[in-house]
Amino acid sequence: MAAKPEQQLSIIGRRQPRVDGFDKVTGRSEFTDDIRLPGMLYGKILRSSQPHARIARIDTSRAEALPRVKAVVTNRDAPDLMFSEHQHVLAQDVVRYVGEEVAAVAAVDLLTAEEALELIEVEYEPLPNVTTVRQALKNDAPCLHERAPGNIGPTMDQDWGDPDRGFAESDRIIEDEFRTPMQHNTLAELHVALADFSNPEKLHLYTPTQGAPLYQMELARGFGLAESQVRIVYRNIGGAFTGRGRPKPHHFVAALLSRKAGRPVKIKATADEEFIMFRASGETLYKFRTGVTHDGTIKALEADITFDAGGHDEWAMILWLPSIYLNWLYKPVGVRYKGRFVFTNTVPKGSHHGGIMGRMSAGWQQHITRVAEVLGMDPAELQLKNAVDPGYESPDGSVFASCGLKECIETVVERSDWRNKHGKLPKYRGIGIGIGAQASGSKGADNDTSAAMVKIAADGVVTLYTGIPDMGQGSHTVMCMIAAEVLGTEPEKIRVVQGDSDITPFDWGAFAQRGTFTTGNAVKAACEDAREQLAVIAGRELDEDPASLMFRHGRVQSASDPDKVMSFGEVAAKTLHSVEGRFVMGRGFFNSPKPFGALAFSFGAQIAEVEVDPETGAVAVLKVWAAHDIGRAINRLAVEGQLDGQVFSGMSQVLYEECKVEDGLILNPSRLEYKLPRTYELPAVDYSLVETIDPYGPFGAKEVGEGPIVVSMSAVAAAVQNAVGALVPEIPMTPWRIKRMLRATADGSTDVGKHWSEGLE
Amino acid sequence: MHLPDHEFVKPATLADSLALLRSASGEIKLIAGGTDVVYNMRGRLFQPDILLSVRDLAELQGVADTTAGGIRIGAGIRLTDLEHEPRVAAYPALVTAGRAVASRHVRNMATLGGNLCLDTRCWYTNQTAEWRQAKGPCLKNGVAVCHAIKSASVCVALNASDIAPALIALNADITLANVDGERRLPLTDFYTDDGVTHTIRDADELLVAIDLPAPSGRTVFIKETARKGNDFSYAVIAAGGEVAGQRVTGLRIVLGCLTTRPLSLQEPVRIIETRGLTDEAIDVAAAAARDELGPLTNLYTPAAYKSSLARSLVRQALRELRDATP
């Protein structure tokens, strides 16, 4: 095939409105809760009201006797059904958090299900509980799990390079502490699962997901089925932000109820229940340590992080995620990382938008800013001096084939007028810089495969089969643009078939910012395969070498003789109706050749300017300058949307969001009391794209799905740090914490973090 | 969560409504716009036998001039209509406070009377019934337990009305009616320090009207929230008085949403009326505000912040009162 010269790109890089936009804004798009199957029942889960208790007795007889109730389940119905290694789907003897799944009912309508729930009698024998990390780590603290003495769960302790030598070569070693609270993603679409297990040989599960395979695997494992006996169906998805990566207990419960009732069962979260179902990120305590020479060369980095796992360790990946940030930004001699899970009687924890890295980065980049201040250096200069370059191999073995980090830093410094602002702003104004890196896809415990298929009908209509979900990030629009570019047609002429694991080819899904990069490469390969099939007949018709044909603007034409041309549809029709009768079906897949880790890395820098109101302590983000190396912008409109959304969500996590937890109970489980900013509080964002054209990405593209938020969080945090004159040791930086900072720094103290204790409220 | 079973009645006249309030057996809950009542019923905070709708009662509508040169506002006026009512425009603090409530959608339903009667709020109680089980019942459910202040013997839930402080600063009176007749009292006397029975309204009474004296002097209103709109307040302040340079007479300073009732400050008023609106006197007055707030809770914001916010709002309001162009 003729490689398309880059300058001839006609679709990639344009501002493409979403292919699903019209249906979304006109209310036509179908979501899981819109699906109603014949005979469908409504399920409700009875949750523990106790943070820690032994279940002495459960009596479901009154619920079972209620007319219109079709199934009631407790652990007795499925004593071996495990959610994770040590965790039952329905609590067996002991509940370990308020909200733990204890029993469930399915009834013909929701009101009956709610009524039945109230008729289930559970007798608890309360056990002593611990609901904060600090409590759990006390010597005499009650223990949640026999397997975890001292409430210490899984740990990780790893060095990359030679951190001891790095610290030894340092002139200064700077240490800081930081804390992030429990936070929640508040997805637009509440959690919902519709299971049809009425045929015990096949489980159909309709649910929003980031990817079908993990759901298939885990449900198959749980119910003793082969993976092909589990079908995952999804429609449009109202956000995921790490929250729909793998099935949650309610998916298993819906299936269990359906199997028992012999009818489909839907379970949908209520607004407050969502705060339990989600498994959001928990309280986390950080210690940062950086070794640096007098001239500002970073020699060694260390982070020691304690995570509140909640009542169960559901998601071990959280443990190592932050370590990648220590490896990917600077060029230290060595990196040391320690992580540990601590069990508490609170909801099991997962992640939040920005992974675990965004939250850490809000503290870590303040720490790096403080390193610069200790050295008397400009923080932007320190970043620039130490930033990684193209071709760099990090201590953890990642190689940056393309890298525009330095250009990103230079761009935001220039555009924000940093040099005339930093250190020169009026009192209560602040400016801060944050940088970040993110992988495009990642190979870890399993492979990193995406597959795609296209078929081209005789009228030239292209149907793309993909297993990548669109949770709102615009992935389907990007896939249509890639397909249209390769085939020389328009994105609007591509139909996407998605959302059914019985039909669509394998795709791990939308994890680890892999959609554009990995699925994009698979779609590109599938379309190139189809184009090759079309070129055979087109070449014969036009009497041209198939390899020299150009597919552009809905036409197939000779590169040398513009008069030799056919329409795209005509070629498809001639191919089908040729003597051979070929029907065009292209297939492609992509899997990184690396055995572990990622192939491409994106980089970014942001500068935020903020103003603190000394009277009320409120922080206003005035403007954010963002520069990101994303390889290539496939859809510039979507890239800007991603930047807006991530600046907004990053600002929200740093300044607003916090689950107020007392005795294991979330006190603000609603969108009224879990304070999120409104969209009109989004600051002005100045976008700059640094297009480094990655050698492995489709048309050179890397990710923009999660890289920016990590940077936003650090830039906003560093700007507030600059405005109040000291590292802010905790997020969210609420008005009361800012007031406290202002009091603490009134005497010129710049080191208030060490004296920051719990109990402010 | 579905609404608990109840009977819904909507009498055609005020007289019929008052008669029902007196005669009905079982618990009656009044509903006007329903923006607070319905939400709280879903959470099983209220489980009345009867929901009595006063939303469309003609007697509660309209704004009229009074012989005293002021206006009488029907308690049933929708907040959106309040904003646009020409007679109300003479009371800018009331307009600002009305606009500060929730969102346009809520204000299209919510009424002035409903806002003044808003149930007190507490994050131990204002949850679904299932959620409340974890902490167990409290004073709001007739059990002598308070989760917010362990030693409290009366409920310390917070007043939620943005408008009440503005009206109190405007020296508003209210009129309560029952089948026997009416009583009129200053709005400031309507509220109590008990979050359970947080107004002095008797079970058979209905808030029918709000009376404002003739507009005079300057007024200010400031609302502090977590975000720029559609939210309950961390705190509000309203102030009013006859200002001449730094001299001020007839000063009222009212803080809302920090405690169980809107609080009319006394000592800060005395300080400013004696010493004038100087920067120094304003700082002294602001510092004095804390003493009158009584015990503060950690509900929604930490107690320490509530007290700092009260100081800061008093300072801001007094400066605005002084510096506003007349």
In-domain check, residue B142: no
Percent of chain A past pLDDT 90, that is, above it, reads 88
In-domain check, residue B109: yes
Contact A656 B232 (CB under 8 A): no
Give domain A37-127+192-268's CATH architecture: Alpha-Beta Complex (3.90)
In-domain check, residue B146: no
Residue B299 and residue A421: Cα distance in Å, rounded? Answer: 39
Nearest chain A Cα distance for residue B301, angstroms: 8
| pTM of the full structure | 0.96
Nearest chain B Cα distance for residue A218, angstroms: 30
A219 phi, psi to nearest 5 deg: -70, -35
Last residue of a domain, one of B37, B57, B77: B57
Structure tokens at B57: 């009662």
Contact B228 A664 (CB under 8 A): no
- Classify strands A284-292 and A298-310 as parallel, antiparallel or unpaired: antiparallel
Residue B24 and residue B9: Cα distance in Å, rounded? Answer: 11
**A354 — pLDDT class (breaks 50, 70, 90):** confident
The answer to whether residues B85 and B224 belong to one domain is no
**pLDDT tens-digit map of A77-120:** 999 999 988 999 999 999 999 999 999 999 999 999 999 999 99
- Among the options A100, A283, A658, A706, which is catalytic? A706
**pLDDT tens-digit map of B126-164:** 999 889 999 999 999 999 999 999 999 999 999 999 999
The answer to whether residues B50 and B74 belong to one domain is no
Q: Which residues in chain A are contacts of B227 at CB distance < 8 A?
A: 656, 675-678, 681
The answer to whether residues B47 and B182 belong to one domain is no
**pLDDT tens-digit map of B42-89:** 989 999 999 999 999 999 999 999 999 999 999 999 999 999 999 999
**B217 — pLDDT class (breaks 50, 70, 90):** very high
In-domain check, residue B130: no
- The answer to whether residue A640 is catalytic is no
Q: Which residues in chain B are contacts of A669 at CB distance < 8 A?
A: 127, 131
pLDDT at B292 over 50: yes
**pLDDT tens-digit map of A225-243:** 999 999 999 999 999 988 8
pLDDT, residue A5, reads 42
Q: Where are the domains of chain A?
A: 37-127+192-268, 284-440+600-755, 449-590
Q: Residue B231's domain spans which residues?
A: 218-323
Structure tokens at B201: 């309204």
Interface of B with A (CB under 8 A): 1-2, 123-124, 127-128, 130-131, 133-135, 224, 226-232, 234, 298, 300-305, 308-309, 312, 315-316
Residue A79 and residue A92: Cα distance in Å, rounded? Answer: 7
pLDDT at B174 over 70: yes
Residue A704 and residue A688: Cα distance in Å, rounded? Answer: 13
pLDDT at A1 over 80: no
The answer to whether residues B10 and B23 belong to one domain is yes
Angle subtended at Cα A316 by Cα A727 and Cα A190, rounded to the nearest 5 degrees: 85
Nearest one of A353, A513, A369 to A448, comparing CA atoms: A513
pLDDT, residue A748, reads 77
The answer to whether residues B255 and B291 belong to one domain is yes
What is the pLDDT averaged over residues A482-504?
Answer: 96
Same fold, A37-127+192-268 and A284-440+600-755: no
Any idea which residue has 């740093």 for tokens? A654
Query: How many distinct structural domains can be found in chain B?
Result: 3
In-domain check, residue B101: yes
Residues β-bridged to residue A179: A285, A730
pLDDT at B315 over 50: yes
pLDDT, residue A332, reads 97
Q: Which top CATH class is A449-590?
A: alpha beta
- CA A322 from chain centre, in angstroms, equals 14
The answer to whether residues B74 and B90 belong to one domain is yes
Nearest one of B46, B13, B12 to B30, comparing CA atoms: B46
In-domain check, residue B105: yes
The answer to whether residues B21 and B102 belong to one domain is no
Residue A473 and residue A517: Cα distance in Å, rounded? Answer: 14
**pLDDT tens-digit map of A488-498:** 999 999 999 99
- Which residue of chain A is at minimal alpha-carbon distance from B3? A111
pLDDT, residue A3, reads 42
Q: Are A510 and A210 in contact (CB under 8 A)?
A: yes
Any idea which residue has 């990995």 for tokens? A518
pLDDT at A758 over 60: no
The answer to whether residues B231 and B204 belong to one domain is no
DSSP track, A86-123: TEESS--SEE-STT-EEEEEEESSHHHHHHHHHH-EEE
Supply the ipTM of this predicted assembly.
0.94
The answer to whether residues B47 and B62 belong to one domain is no
Distances (CA, A) of B273 to B43, B200, B220: 46, 31, 17
Interface of A with B (CB under 8 A): 47, 49-51, 98, 110-111, 114, 270, 272, 615-618, 656, 660, 663-665, 667-669, 672-673, 675-678, 680-681, 735-736, 739, 760-761
B128: nearest CB among A272, A665, A681: A272
Residue B298 and residue A661: Cα distance in Å, rounded? Answer: 13
In-domain check, residue B134: no
pLDDT, residue A760, reads 40
Residues β-bridged to residue B178: B181
Distances (CA, A) of A375 to A170, A413, B117: 12, 20, 59
CA A382, A385, A386, A388 torsion: positive or negative?
positive
Average pLDDT in chain A: 94
pLDDT at B206 over 90: yes
The answer to whether residues B4 and B100 belong to one domain is no
A717 contact partners, CB below 8 Å, separation of at least 6: A361, A362, A363, A365, A366, A432, A434, A654, A728, A731, A733
Residue A182 and residue A167: Cα distance in Å, rounded? Answer: 33
Nearest chain B Cα distance for residue A35, angstroms: 20
The answer to whether residues B15 and B108 belong to one domain is no
Nearest chain A Cα distance for residue B9, angstroms: 23
Largest distance between two CA atoms of chain B:
59
The answer to whether residues B192 and B67 belong to one domain is yes
pLDDT at A57 over 60: yes
Q: Where are the beta strands (DSSP E) in A119-237?
A: 121-126, 152-161, 172-180, 192-196, 203-206, 230-233
B301: nearest CB among A676, A680, A736: A736
Q: At what angle do helices B267-275 and B279-292 cross, to 10 degrees?
A: 160
A736: nearest CB among B127, B228, B304: B304
Nearest one of A186, A616, A660, A731 to B226, comparing CA atoms: A616
What is the pLDDT averaged over residues A590-611?
Answer: 94
In-domain check, residue B288: yes
CA A697, A701, A706, A711 torsion: positive or negative?
positive
pLDDT, residue A352, reads 87
Eight-state DSSP code of residue A750: S
Give me the CATH topology for the region A284-440+600-755: Aldehyde Oxidoreductase; domain 4 (3.30.365)
Last residue of a domain, one of B212, B238, B253: B212
